[in-house]
């Protein structure tokens, strides 16, 4: 079994914060970290987000009320401490990011009984529109072809002066 030695102090108490991580095998033999597979070139998060947005129409905060009136699903993926402090978009459904794919996946045994269908417009929202882009990408992978996100996230909603309520319209655990 391999383990990653992420200790920040050496045996003599000196800091190893700048030292590279070291893999250790079952016998305790050290070796450098493995390189990524040849078919998987490392990419930064900015490149991954850009690829997830490529060719996708995203939603402006100003357009969101109309889309909600037309039956779109707004999935709020912000952290509890952010939501509790900043408030909620009327009509939004709060689902914790760690479980939202299982709650929305029509093939999951943990799915919402009244969740969106594959043809529904599902709009994800985070604080600023970055992690929601990746969430929308993941929903498209599940078959929600119209999944997208809010440009600028909740911050864009608030800056536009759109309504904010203290409690979520619906909260799913």
The tens place of each residue's pLDDT in the chain, 173 residues long, gives: 444 444 444 444 444 444 445 556 667 677 666 666 666 789 999 999 999 999 999 999 999 999 999 999 999 999 999 999 999 999 999 999 999 999 999 999 999 999 999 999 999 999 999 999 999 999 999 999 999 999 999 999 999 999 999 999 999 98
Q: How far apart are CA 59 and CA 70, in angstroms?
A: 14
Q: Residue 69: name the closest of 12, 4, 111, 123 by CA.
A: 123
pTM: 0.76
Domains of the chain with CATH codes: 1-34 (no CATH), 45-172 (3.40.250.10)
DSSP 8-class letter at 150: B
Distances (CA, A) of 81 to 31, 77, 154: 41, 12, 14
The DSSP symbol for 59 reads B
């Amino acid at each position: 079994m391999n383990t990653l030695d992420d200790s920040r102090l050496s045996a003599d108490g000196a800091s190893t914060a700048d030292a590279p991580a070291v893999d250790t095998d079952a016998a305790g033999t050290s070796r450098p970290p493995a390189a990524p597979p040849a078919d998987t070139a490392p990419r930064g998060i900015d490149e991954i987000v850009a690829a997830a947005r490529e060719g996708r129409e995203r939603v402006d905060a100003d357009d969101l009320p109309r889309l909600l009136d037309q039956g779109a699903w707004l999935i709020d993926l912000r952290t509890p401490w952010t939501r509790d402090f900043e408030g909620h978009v009327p009509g939004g459904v709060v689902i914790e990011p760690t479980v939202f794919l299982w709650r929305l996946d029509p093939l999951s045994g943990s799915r919402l009984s009244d969740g969106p269908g594959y043809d529904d417009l599902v709009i994800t929202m985070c604080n600023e529109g970055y992690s929601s882009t990746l969430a929308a990408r993941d929903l498209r992978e599940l078959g929600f072809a119209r999944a997208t996100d809010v440009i600028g996230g909740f911050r864009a909603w608030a800056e536009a002066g759109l309504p904010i309520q203290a409690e979520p319209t619906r909260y799913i655990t």
